[in-house]
Amino acid sequence: MGFCVCSWGLGTPQGFLSLLFAPSSAAAKMPSPQTVASGPELHSPREPAGPRIPAQGTRKASSEDTSSAHREGLRPGLGTLRRAFSKASQRASGCAPQEDPGLLRRSSRLLFRSLRRARDEGPAADQTQATTGPGVAHGREASSRAMDGVSPQSSTGAGPAELEDKSVADLITERKLLAAFEQLRHLETQLVAEKASRTFEQDPTGFARRAMDLCLHYDGLAAEIGAIVLETLGPDGVDAAVLAELARVVRAEEEAHPEPPADGDFLCTPRHWRQHWEDAVRRSARERVQQVSAGEAPGAAEGASGLAQLLAELGRLVRRDLQKVQLEVHPAYAAAGYPAWEAYLRAFHGAVAQRLQELAHDAHGCEQLYVLLDWASNVYSSPDFLGSQDLALPSEPLPPLLAPDVWARLESDYTSFLETKIASCFDGILQVEQSRWVAAEAPDVLQGHYHTPLSIDVHMLVAEHVKAAGAISAELEATTLQICTRALGLFLPRFEKAFLESGAVSEPNLCANINACEEFRTHLLARFPGSLEELEKPLVAATCAFQKRLLQGLQGDVQPLFKVLCTKAWLTQDVLQPLLDKVVAFAGHLEHVVPPRAQVWGGRAVVGACPGPLLLTLTQTPALAAQETLQEVHRYVVREYLAQALRPRERFRGVERVSGSQKMGLDAQAIGNTFQGLGSEATWLGRAIPCVADILGETYKDDIRRHLETLIRSYPDIRRDHVLAILALRRLGHRRNQHLLTHAQDLLRAVAEAGGPGAAGGHVLFEEIEVPTSMDVLITCI
């Protein structure tokens, strides 16, 4: 506490203190009160007072003797002061290591001054008593004894009240704060009155020492207030009556010292105990919070689990302390009309914020960062954190627990670590799938569909991280979803390549992977609508790749069986049934494929872009599924059958040609019945083989034109080469062939003008059949 310049001309506080404690010697002199820096000259008790040459502006020897006599009369109770300030200092230092060191220094000065008073006792006391007068000396002696250990009443033998028999220091020690303040206020008023009456004109040092005593006792009372606050939340606590008296003392001081004196005197200046109390509350909260695993950084706390345990312990301490404030401390202060709840709430909020900033500075890794973010946003900020819903809210909102820039940095660091972690998780999923392939594990059948753990693993990975991020903030949830989407888009091509290069390629596994891609499209999109559009291309590409490999496997199995068609052995044997048996077995796997759901990506229907022979003929879904796959197989069988018929290994004439035509009709019927029984909806394929069979076996040549017109109108993608190959099978005359070929070209031009292949719904069949130029075709052209 600083000291103001008083009207006694004592100068600055430093000069004031040097005046009090400067050693008395021949060279140390103090000017008289008549000068600007007046005051008595102090002598050391060890030095004899020898004869001196008087100097202008100095006091005489009688003044020196008078000052010594006054020091004799104001001698304090040395033991009382030592005990009182020793106890106060111990409490302040033991409970508050950060207590204001000025209080302790001033207490030590008080003891030192008391020792000098004891050594200054001597014969000069009588002279001082005689010089200053008995009335003034008695008043000053009574004031000193009231602070130092003996009240004025006890010195005269009268003691009407028990508290009046105790010194201010003893009252502070016993925490009778209001009584101590009242005595200090009385002494302060008395000292101000004596100063105003110019009682101390001849003894400014006496006034200075009494004022110093008063200020030191005020500081001791303030230190006791801080010690009470620090002990309030301790294991033993503080009695409610003491807290109520503390509140009354603070208010009483504010009423006694509403504003600084007009003359700038340090007496009666406001002590700002309310601010001192609030600082002590903040210091108490800060020390309580710092006690939780003090000195233990998150990196040394066994990772995220250690940090979570530290934060849980911090939460328990804050909850326990604030509940104690709510139930015990606040009512005690409120009884004295002093609000304490908001001060403690803000103090603990600030202490927790500071502690969290320290933890955030040392946090590393995705888990630790998430633990901090989650605790700050979900645990501490939870409405039921204190276990009560009816707590009074602060008059002004509390500041953010973490500064916006710190929060943004934590989220940024978290997303960076999360991106690496999610990529690592997808690597782990791929390794799990590869181990299943090595072990040749067959996929499970759940609800009639092939199932692979891939879909569950990816769904859990995405949902878990997105949900966790959503619990912190909507922005972090959106960022996490983008990270998961981007990582899944990079994972799908890697998974596709690794699977197709492995030895686990089979119909069940291929169907299971197609189902997984379909589940990604439907379930993830349904759960996170509008967020996974960038997965469109990799999902369609992966599904088409699996579908292509699935059909390539069937083609490899049935392709050799087409070579025996349209041969003389074919006329007498049922060589088509083994091929249809393989198709039926293949279709059995397709029954375990999830049917596609119509999806719209970005407001538009997506058309599958499967390359080569897997070009979709139905465009309302982005990928092939069971029905589309079955139709593709149906188209493949019809196409390969026609390709074999248009480039036969052997030529039929006469009866063999008629038998071949009949055989083709039977085969067309068997193919149609088989795929119809399997559920194929590609009915447009049913007219291709019968039309060729009718042209091949037609006995009335004029009707060949009618069959040719039906074939061209049904399949606009047919070319002139295909018509030549069909006419070459029949071996008509030159004129008739030219007439039919010219008519076919007119029909093809008419179809092209009408819209090309789109006129027949975009169906493709003959376009993918290559017809080599043979001698028979050349003869037909000639």
Tell me, what amino acid is at 450? Y
Q: Are 539 and 623 within 8 A, CB to CB?
A: yes
Q: Which residue has the tokens 């009560």?
A: 388
In a domain, 442, yes or no: yes
In a domain, 579, yes or no: no
Residue (of 264, 108, 266, 251) closest to 191 by Cα position: 266
What CA dihedral angle connects 228, 232, 237 and 243, to 10 degrees?
70
Q: Are 449 and 519 within 8 A, CB to CB?
A: no
Q: Are 657 and 666 within 8 A, CB to CB?
A: no
Final residue belonging to a domain, choices 271, 290, 312: 271
In a domain, 281, yes or no: no
The mean pLDDT values, 10 residues at a time, for the chain of 782 residues are 36 37 34 32 34 34 36 38 46 44 42 37 38 43 48 37 70 91 91 87 88 92 94 91 93 89 79 94 94 59 79 92 91 87 93 92 87 90 72 73 90 92 95 92 89 92 92 92 92 95 91 91 79 82 92 91 87 90 92 68 38 38 64 93 87 86 93 92 92 87 87 89 86 80 86 62 83 57 50
User: ∠ CA 235-392-473 to the nearest 5 degrees?
Assistant: 95
**Distance in angstroms (rounded) separating the CA atoms of residues 672 and 118:** 127
In a domain, 330, yes or no: no
Structural domains in the chain (count): 2
| Full residue range of the structural domain in which residue 442 is found | 403-553
Scanning 233-301, the segments in alpha helix (DSSP H) are 240-256, 273-290
Final residue belonging to a domain, choices 247, 271, 295: 271
Could you give the 3-state DSSP secondary structure of residue 680?
coil
In a domain, 280, yes or no: no
Final residue belonging to a domain, choices 271, 294, 311: 271
In a domain, 410, yes or no: yes
In a domain, 743, yes or no: no
Neighbours of 743 (CB within 10 A): 15
CATH of the domain at 458: 1.10.357.50
Residue (of 292, 295, 441, 457) closest to 375 by Cα position: 292
Q: Are 735 and 745 within 8 A, CB to CB?
A: no
Helix axes 303-324, 273-290, angle to 10 degrees: 150
Q: DSSP class of residue 198? A: T
CB-based contacts of 107, cutoff 8 Å, min separation 6: 85, 88, 89, 216, 219, 220
Q: Are 557 and 637 within 8 A, CB to CB?
A: no
- Chain segment 577-629, per-residue pLDDT in tens: 999 999 999 999 988 888 766 443 333 333 344 544 443 333 334 335 678 88
**Distance in angstroms (rounded) separating the CA atoms of residues 32 and 117:** 22
Supply the pLDDT for residue 89: 46
In a domain, 501, yes or no: yes
**Distance in angstroms (rounded) separating the CA atoms of residues 50 and 269:** 43
Burial label for 171, CB within 10 Å (0-12, 13-18, 19+), is buried
How far does CA 541 lie from the centroid of its chain?
35
Supply the pLDDT for residue 32: 34
**Distance in angstroms (rounded) separating the CA atoms of residues 170 and 163:** 10
**Distance in angstroms (rounded) separating the CA atoms of residues 118 and 131:** 21
Tokens, residue 454: 């891939």
